[in-house]
Every structure is written in structure tokens, then in C-alpha cells.
Chain A
């Protein structure tokens, strides 16, 4: 089974702060995704990538940047964090995209004060 890890697991920052969330997958999957989970909205796609150096815009990209540095590593960047970005963030990977199983990490809980 694919292993997806995220760090940190919890993060507190202030409005305007700079935050980087990290994700690593160890099964050499092609696709990696960043979601945010909020009550009443389910999982919403922020950004995704189909390989190192590639980035695709998701459904709620405003205020977020992302970078896929290697096949294994995908980072989510909040350069000027706002309270509206307080959320639970999940990273996921899959081998062949939307028609394949997505394997999720344990999540990062972010609080922006």
C-alpha cells in the first residue's frame, strides 16, 4: 500500500505569515494532490501535479502556491496566510490520476490567527 506522509501535523501562524506544508509519497506515483477539508465543503482540490516540475491548478487555488520538486515530494506554500486558510490540509497520491485510487496522508491542521 502507498505511503503518504505529511509534515508538520499541526501548525499555528499569524495573519501574513509564511507557511510551507510538505508531503512525501514513497510509491513513485505520478500524481500528487493538495486538498483542503472544511465542514460543509468536503475535500476541495487546491493544486495537483503529474510529475516533477509540473503543476496544475485545482478548484480553489487562490492564495496558494505549490511545487513538485521530485517524484516523491510536493509542497504547498502559503506566502501571506489569512484566517480563511485555517483548515485541515490533505495530500494524496495516485498512479494514474482521477480514475485510480487516491492514497491520502494523515493531514496537517493549520490555524491562522
Chain B
């Protein structure tokens, strides 16, 4: 049972466009949602994160939109650059049993110049 689901599996957008990566979850106790970015040959690295008390978190060209009622969130990457080509993982954890984090299967993003 996958508790964190991501879509699409892969996404290709042109340079300068906005890429939208989707994530949904099942566990109502989840209240911290980080996104990790992974380049080929490297380990994932934290990109941006949001807590459930907020509905939006912005960091430069990266924005998380969060809908607690629908248990959905999305990562928007505006003015996409070829250097943004990577795999993006949505993850979730809870204040209860907060030692570990659950990752989604990832979205592979390709930015075409």
C-alpha cells in the first residue's frame, strides 16, 4: 500500500514553461511534506518543504501548494531550466511516530531547451 502517490511518473516541459508535479497521501496524520530533488548519480537532497498549517510555500521558482482537505499537494517549478531536469520525490511524515519519512515513487522531470 503506497501511502504517498506521485503523478505523473515522468514529465517533459519546454524551457521557460511551468512544470507541475502532483502528490497525494492517505494518512491524515501526515503533517510535514518535504520535496527532494535527485540528479543522476547522486543522492536525493531537500528542495523545499511545507507543514500542514500552511497552504503555500515559496522558494524562488519553486512553490508548494497544499490542500489538506483533499490530501493533495503539488510542486510548481516556474521558468523551468534545463538544470532542473531531475527526479523529484514527494515525502511525508507525522508528528506521531515521527522518526521516519515515507517517500513517493518519484516524478522524472525533463526540461527541453
Contacts and interface: CB of A to CB of B under 8 A. Distances in A.
A107 B43 contact: yes
Contacts of B99: 31, 48, 50, 56, 97-98
A92 B43 contact: yes
A99 B46 CA distance: 12
Contact of B93 (A43, A44, A98, A105): A98
Nearest to A6: B43
Size class of the contact patch on chain A: 20 to 34
A90 B100 contact: no
A41 B3 CA distance: 11
Contacts of B100: 33, 45, 48, 56, 58, 97-98
19 contacts: A33-B100, A40-B105, A42-B103, A42-B104, A42-B105, A43-B89, A43-B103, A48-B100, A50-B99, A56-B99, A56-B100, A90-B43, A97-B93, A98-B98, A101-B49, A102-B44, A104-B43, A104-B45, A107-B41
Interface of B: 6, 9, 32, 34, 36, 41-46, 49, 89, 93-95, 97-106
